[in-house]
Structure 1
Amino acid sequence: MTAHDSSRARGRSDRDAGQGPTRAACPAVFIAAPASGQGKTTVTAALARMLRNQGKVVRVFKTGPDYLDPLVLAQASGRPVDQLDLWMAGEAYCRQRLFDAALEANLILVEGAMGLFDGEPSSADLAALFDLPLVIVMDVKGMAQTAAALVAGLASFRDDIRIAGLIANACGSQRHRELIDAALPSAIPLLAAVARDADLALPERHLGLVQAEEIREDLETRFEAGARVLEAEGLAEALLQLPPVTFSAPQMEATEALSSLQPSLAGQTIAVARDAAFSFIYQANLDLLERMGATLRFFSPLSDKGLPPCDALWLPGGYPELHAAPLAANTSMQDDIRRFYAADKPILAECGGMLYCLETLTDVDDRTHAMLGLLSGHGAMRGRRGCQGMQTAELPEGPVRGHAHHRSVAEGTPAPIAHGRRQRHPAPGEAIYRQRRLTASYLHLFFPDNPAAVACLFGQGPVPACPTIDTEESNGCD
């Protein structure tokens, strides 16, 4: 048994015996970059596939409120991918996920968001908190020694982070690689150089990567090609030789608080829309609903004729603007959802789900289609300009943290019951609507932030009294 295996066994033993706090050790790497668009997800997915092909257990996490990258990374690694975000999820949640992963993994990968120091909290904050060594992925096209200077600057910007090496992406030649390698500080090795190759890059559209389910076979080809490149570079050996990172379980209070909520949705069946039009779903949200006793039934508003038997309905975000015509054509599903609404059953509609609830939706080709009409108003795409940012949904059931990310606008909607509270700005955020038991907003909620509020939102009890209505209009843009 290796030292790593022994550590994992001790972690399992401590946890099973009910002893606390427990610890588990595992090699772990934080994949970061100086900016967006450097190839972090492409490299992380290729690395995960390479390790999987070698028979290793690799657990991957994504920093921030991202739906699309985790689906790609889950396909590459063969295991679920959770989001880690210190503001939205909290330290205890992130610590628990990393601790659980360390009990089973040979290597943990955490992919960052934006640039290393961007955001509050930033990728650097998360890496520093859990002492994760950083691997910088940088697109080096058009530079050589300057790439080394940028990495050196990242390494010296804060004294609580440590950079384990550089992966030079879009490297032009062997000579290009040599120039970068020679200029790097001695403490920061060049771990790999990935040649410029359009066949390795992941396809994108207006809200980010194309959904994994739509291009599964194409992704497989790209994963395998990237895995071969990184394997030839000897990257797995370099990362697995890094000193293990020790993760401790969170304090018992957090676990006990969740345990007390476990029966709160017992006996409730929640129908969850999940298809090409509605797929922006945190796995953590599904896990929480099931831990609170709910039974989940997935269905497709695109192809199913009606709802499955259920007590509550969740219409998450996604790409209804790309599928507005078939959504409008499925009138039997629309009629079934309208009857569900008229029966005063709980419905949560987030972003794309809210657009589906409006009277009409004008799609990306400027064609207008009839939607559910549960909420007055009309949705339309508005080109490249969009709204995004972290916000707290001020629901009558209680505050729930989440985020907004959309390139559409909803007009002619009723007066909201509240607005989202922005993370760092005093202006009102996204409007929150409540009609009968329908709750609709552009906000995507992270359920583990406030399980009690979520249980009340989907439960069958009386609707909480609404707060004072703030009728100041806001489109939620920062």
Structure 2
Amino acid sequence: MQSQSCAAVVIAAPASGQGKTTVTAVLARHYRQQNKHVRVFKVGPDFLDPMVLEQASGHPVYQLDLWMVGKQHSQQLLAEAAEQADIILIEGVMGLFDGEPSTADLAAAFGIPILAVIDASAMAQTFAAIAVGLDQYRQDTKVAAVIANKVGSERHANMLKNALPPSLPCLATLFRQTEHALPSRYLGLQQASEITDLEQRLGHTLEAFDFDDSVSLPNIDFPLSDTSPLPSLLEGVRIGIAKDAAFSFLYQANLDCLKALGAELVFFSPLNDNELPDIDSLYLPGGYPELHLAKLSVNTQMQQAIQQHYHANKPILAECGGMLYLCETLTDKTDITATMCGILPARAKLQARLTALGLQEVTVENQVIRGHTYHHSLLSTELVSEISGQCPNGKSVSEAVYQQQRLTASYIHFYFYSNPHLIAAWLAP
């Protein structure tokens, strides 16, 4: 089996909130300044971090996950990236060993070393103890280097580095940069397009890094798997895809999958366009419709166009925020209610806290498709669904999949490559 080789590292931390995304983004900028071709991946089903990482790296960011994406497809994505890249950066999720599957599981599956990012703001020598613990906790994972984040001074940095054993070099220290931190909201980081000074923030943070360029990252071999091309089940089908500030939760792999099936992708904006493009099928992804209630509700021409598409019995796939847009009404966190498309006999309301989080597996007519759910809203409806997702980790999260006419709607964000044939069936005219 052929393989591709390049430097690679999994950027992980002891816990969430340690600065993985910031460090990954700035590392991408650092290596790009060295004229290296950088590719970045994100572990787990995340939409927001990849937006920032895409801008930092200059390339689309794909998700890696042993369950949702699958080991074979993850391996293929890595091998394809290694064909062109000088270095691959993989941002982990949560703490290194947290979750099933965890970031550590993915690192072990592909033999990729770990770069441990540790918030050192309230510690000295204990920083080294945490680094050693991360390195030695499992026999099948290896910490290649560490980064000290939120360092207070040069003296503090020296204390941290001197405490590390020789086997755990410090690749960089990052001094505390609270004024340039990436802004966030209830689902995570703000979308990259909303952070108008993102370039300046990344630039200032890069200046606060102190790199030890003598620390090198090892090369890893990524085998190329033999994969058969997908059948052209959507050949010539024009799929309209909502894409703007309200609907932006799109896996690049999903777009690739639709193209591989033969579809022609046509993007439009429910916020700014008054009519649908000339399309056969409609894909409404997730996003933040609740932040754009006024503009969505007054665009009655777009609502009518989508209603006409639905009543013409044309295919629609609506995920999470896309499903909320099809409801009768949507209420935001300030109790402002706006009229939506009214295709689903349902009313949605944002809640103060997270209402669902988990991986999901759905079986439809003996076919299985995977994805995940993560939302702060609740749906009030008399609709009864005979299809629902199951969480592989034993959580009680079970999202309904509503199907009426040619509409498939759910809180679940589906990963299309987990069952391209089912996606084709949902979207074929």
TM surpasses 0.5: yes
Determine which of 68, 72, 76 is the counterpart of 2:56.
76
The total of aligned residue pairs comes to 429
Please name the residue that 1:171 is paired with.
Answer: 151
Q: Secondary structure at the match of 1:117?
A: coil
AA partner of residue 34 (structure 2)? Q
Counterpart selection for 1:93 from 52, 56, 73: 73
Separation in 2, partners of 1:372, 1:396: 29
What is the match of residue 9 of structure 2? 29
CA contact (8 A) 2:11 2:24 kept: yes
Per-residue CA deviations over 1:335-391 (Å, capped at 9, x if unaligned) read 000000000011011000111111100012210000111111110011123311001
1:268 aligned residue (227, 237, 244)? 237
* 2: CA distance, partners of 1:329 / 1:319: 17
Q: Which amino acid aligns with 1:135?
A: L
- What is the aligned counterpart of 1:120 among 100, 118, 121? 100
Match of 2:45 in 1: 65
Q: CA deviation at 1:228?
A: 2.9
Deviation at 1:49, TM superposition (A): 1.1
TM-score (norm 2): 0.97
The match for 1:448 is 417
Partner of 2:350 in structure 1? Answer: 381
For the pair 1:223 / 2:223, whether they are aligned, the reply is no
1:76-475 mapped onto 2 (5 Å cutoff) = 76-215=56-195, 217-230=196-209, 232-235=210-213, 238=215, 241-250=216-225, 252=226, 255-256=227-228, 259=229, 261-396=230-365, 398-425=367-394, 427=396, 429-460=398-429
Closer, same or farther: CA 59–426 of 1 in aligned 2, 3 Å: closer
Please list the CA deviations of residues 444-470 of structure 1 after superposition, one character each: whole Å capped at 9, or x if unmatched: 00000011111111112xxxxxxxxxx
Partner of 1:6: none
Q: Output the amino acid matched with 1:342.
A: H
Structure 1: segments with no counterpart, 5+ residues: 1-20, 461-478
CA offset digits 1:76-103 (Å, max 9, x no partner): 0101110000100111111111111111
Aligned residues with identical type, % of pairs = 50
Q: Which runs of 4+ in 1 moved over 4 A?
A: none
Native 8 Å contact 2:145 2:168 kept in 1: yes
Deviation for aligned residue 1:183: 1.8
In 1: Cα distance, 2:355 partner to 2:86 partner: 39
State whether residues 115 and 147 of structure 2, in contact with CA within 8 Å, keep that contact through their aligned partners in structure 1. Answer: yes
The answer to whether the Cα contact below 8 Å between 1:39 and 1:201 also exists between their aligned partners in 2 is: no
Equivalent residues of 1:50, 1:228 under 8 A apart: no
| Contact 2:371 2:415 (8 Å CA) reproduced | yes
Q: Verify the 8 A CA contact 1:24 1:246 in the aligned structure 2.
A: yes
Alpha carbons of structure 1 residues 226 and 427: separation in structure 2 relative to 1, 3 Å: closer
CA distance in 1, matches of 2:140, 2:75: 18
| Partner SS state of residue 262, structure 1 | coil
Residues of 2 paired with 1:190 and 1:82: CA distance?
A: 28
Q: CA deviation at 1:427?
A: 4.3
- Aligned-partner Cα distance in 2 for 1:384–1:421: 22
Distance in 2, matches of 1:51 and 1:428, equals 40
Give TM-score, length-normalised by structure 1.
Answer: 0.88
Structure-2 change in CA distance of 1:199 and 1:413 (3 Å): farther
Stretch deviating more after TM superposition (399-408 or 384-393): 384-393
Contact 1:397 1:453 in 2 (8 A): no
Which amino acid letter does the alignment assign opposite residue 323 of structure 1? H
Say which SS state the counterpart of residue 107 (structure 2) adopts. Answer: helix
CA distance in 2, matches of 1:199, 1:95: 38
